[in-house]
Structure 1
Amino acid sequence: MKLNKLDNYDMKILAILTIDCRTPDRQIGKKVGLSGVSVKSRITKMVRSGVIQNFTIKVEPPSLGYGVIYMIAPSDDEAGIVKKLRLIGEPFFVVPCLGDITACAIVVEKDLDQKIELVKNLIMNARIVLTMDAKDSEFRADLTKTDFKILEKLLKNPKEKIDTIAKSTKLSTKTVTRTIEKFEANPAIQFTIIYDPRKLEKFIAFALLAMVQSNIKKIKKEIETSFGDNFWQVPFTAKELLVLFMYSDNIYNADTMHHKIKKIDGVVFTEVFFPKKITMPTNWISNSIKNAARSEKLHLPIKQII
């Protein structure tokens, strides 16, 4: 089945799926002005065409007790970078971008400072953008063994139906429903999609990194007021860093948005990245699930997960 050219409806649907891919078709339809049947048809076409590569779960590493190092590597050799990252920890995401650079992050268990030095030694000219230690992070998952059992099923299929999960885990539908609602309400856990930036046709996806020196929540709100319709995912904030995931219908409008954000009072530095490919490995989540399964305790403190 050949996919018709993407339009604004498709982009709005994709934006909703990146925030929560479990959102029902009918609910998406109400938000964008289409029927649930039409939404389902469009999603199916985007999956078949490769615009949507897969449905997945994103978990912020500090919420499960891990540190994370965000960096920019001056190379688009994805395989080479992943090989080096695995000498240090587990890849969190790897995104080759235009301009022969790769935005990436690595999940580490302990000795964050030591791992930062390893990054500097192994990845030539890597620029570390941000580091987050679990003990200093605001992200918390606070999961039980039951939660991990359900998370394991959702990791295989984030859109799995509640009845199916209940049957395979031998838990009640009420327990499964309550746990999924708990996940969806937690900013550390996100049901999302991996999309192919090269197949967005006339639309352009980009990430805008902004370093701020004043009230980051106020600046984020100001940007949302002006450019909220162009948000692609939920903005990421940590310390003085604000990362906006946005899209535009052409490069010039993307550049205009960048310059307007750059001039906002309190923003001291901005940088734009245009992704060519996105990968988000989940091996480290699977390892956490396995460790949780071996625990004899029902409720798992972070230090027992890793």
Structure 2
Amino acid sequence: MKDKLDRLDMQILSRLLNNCRESERQIGEGIGIASGTVNARIRRMRRRGIILDFVVRIDPPTLGHSTLYTVVLGQRMEEMLGHMRSMGEPFLVAPCVGGFAVCGVIVRDDVQEKIELAEKIDGMRVLSIFEPERSVSPRFTKTDMQIIRELMINPREKIDIIAKKTGLSTKTVSRCIDRLHGDDGIHFTVDYDPTKIRGFITHAIMIQVTGEAKPMFGKLAHMFSRNFLEVPFLMEKQIVLFLYSDDIYEMDETMQSIREMPGVKSVDLFIARSTKYSQEWMLDNIRKAETSPTLHLEQQWAENTVPATSSAPRTFSNLRTF
């Protein structure tokens, strides 16, 4: 097939999903091809509408916001968003094949109250809902937020250009970006259209385990890391793998292999049609930081949180599954 991607394309897409600031040279060295080939393949994926844009995403807890993630079944998009807005501000919506949808919501007030509300909403069938653990990241200064604003415009912008636009030194910009890279709650990534990918199927597998998730993740990584598309999520008793498979048969074999592993309670498959993130809440935080009389962005919740780590996979607690 003329438009069919190969495994090198998927490796390039994977590296961009996990760090879109990597240069073509760095990507090429990582997968063993020339930087010019990487550049040509990226341009081809953009031309075909596979790679839509380079973006910066910040997990809301990194800026002090409580969040809930839900898996909903059988909802039309307009209805689902209406229900989600009764709980908070939707920042992530991922409609999936089979009538599922994954939605992330910023909750401004009592989280437990919103969880109870979700159980009672007529016409909304919530299969799973959980609150990720909030972790303390470096306190963002106005300078940090100024640089983040520029990165939101162009996440791949060169350091000297950012320095020129902001009036900061290249050393300051470089140090800031290095620090942001080390924060698990900040992602330099890409928006992509999974429906345009030919030759592979991108999907997420959510795995419930009976014991601790970390040892199980080690076994899964040994078996399937070759097909990792994005950094997996490791939760209290749940693991989410983001993978790509050659076809439905390989995907089914992967699911069956996981089901047969000792300690696995359940396995669910999600094939996203699209993933939409809102950046408006991020811009609101930047605007507040720019007008704040204090140097640092306020994080009044910090005393109740735990230190952040930079190790992968990212960890979440307070899991609640219906």
- Decide: shared fold, TM above 0.5: yes
| Equivalent residue number for residue 67 of structure 1 | 66
CA offset digits 1:195-238 (Å, max 9, x no partner) = 11111112000001112232322211211111101000000123
| Equivalent residue number for residue 54 of structure 2 | 55
SS, match of residue 39 in structure 1: helix
CA gap 1:22/1:248 in 2 versus in 1, 3 angstroms: same
Q: Which moved more, 1:35-44 or 1:283-292?
A: 283-292
| Equivalent residue number for residue 131 of structure 2 | 131
| Equivalent residue number for residue 179 of structure 1 | 176
Mapped contact 2:53–2:192 kept (Cα < 8 A): yes
TM-score by length of 2: 0.87
1:263-278 matches, within 5 Å, as: 263-278=260-275
| Equivalent residue number for residue 241 of structure 1 | 238
Aligned residues: 300
| Equivalent residue number for residue 225 of structure 1 | 222
Query: What amino acid maps onto 1:75 in structure 2?
Result: G
Residue 23, structure 1, aligned to residue 22, structure 2? yes
In structure 2, C-alpha distance between the alignment counterparts of 1:216 and 1:244, rounded to whole Å: 12
| Equivalent residue number for residue 146 of structure 2 | 149
Q: Which moved more, 1:123-132 or 1:148-157?
A: 123-132
In structure 1, C-alpha distance between the alignment counterparts of 2:257 and 2:226, rounded to whole Å: 15
SS, match of residue 230 in structure 2: coil
Mapped contact 1:139–1:187 kept (Cα < 8 A): no
CA gap 1:177/1:280 in 2 versus in 1, 3 angstroms: same
Mapped contact 2:64–2:134 kept (Cα < 8 A): no
CA offset digits 1:84-123 (Å, max 9, x no partner) = 3234322221111111111111112231122223433266
In structure 2, C-alpha distance between the alignment counterparts of 1:165 and 1:243, rounded to whole Å: 35
CA offset digits 1:15-59 (Å, max 9, x no partner) = 101100111101101112211111111111111211011111222
SS, match of residue 229 in structure 2: coil
Residue 103, structure 1, aligned to residue 83, structure 2? no
Residue 302, structure 1, aligned to residue 292, structure 2? no
The runs of 5 or more residues in structure 2 that have no matched partner are: 303-322
Query: What amino acid maps onto 2:204 in structure 1?
Result: A
Note the C-alpha offset of 1:82.
Answer: 2.7
| Equivalent residue number for residue 82 of structure 1 | 81
Note the C-alpha offset of 1:75.
Answer: 2.9
Mapped contact 2:115–2:129 kept (Cα < 8 A): no
RMSD value, Cα: 2.0
Q: Which moved more, 1:22-31 or 1:294-303?
A: 294-303
SS, match of residue 220 in structure 1: helix
Identity of aligned residues (%): 36
CA offset digits 1:227-269 (Å, max 9, x no partner) = 1010000001232221110000001111111222223333222
Mapped contact 1:73–1:123 kept (Cα < 8 A): no
Query: What amino acid maps onto 1:208 in structure 2?
Result: I
Query: What amino acid maps onto 1:220 in structure 2?
Result: F
Mapped contact 1:141–1:188 kept (Cα < 8 A): no
Mapped contact 1:90–1:108 kept (Cα < 8 A): yes
TM-score by length of 1: 0.91
Query: What amino acid maps onto 1:168 in structure 2?
Result: K
Mapped contact 1:59–1:188 kept (Cα < 8 A): yes
CA gap 1:50/1:304 in 2 versus in 1, 3 angstroms: same
Note the C-alpha offset of 1:141.
Answer: 4.5
SS, match of residue 99 in structure 1: coil
Query: What amino acid maps onto 2:286 in structure 1?
Result: I
SS, match of residue 147 in structure 1: helix
Mapped contact 2:71–2:128 kept (Cα < 8 A): yes
SS, match of residue 193 in structure 1: strand
| Equivalent residue number for residue 11 of structure 2 | 12
The runs of 5 or more residues in structure 1 that have no matched partner are: none
Note the C-alpha offset of 1:140.
Answer: 2.7
Residue 210, structure 1, aligned to residue 184, structure 2? no
CA gap 1:113/1:58 in 2 versus in 1, 3 angstroms: same
| Equivalent residue number for residue 158 of structure 2 | 161
| Equivalent residue number for residue 316 of structure 2 | none
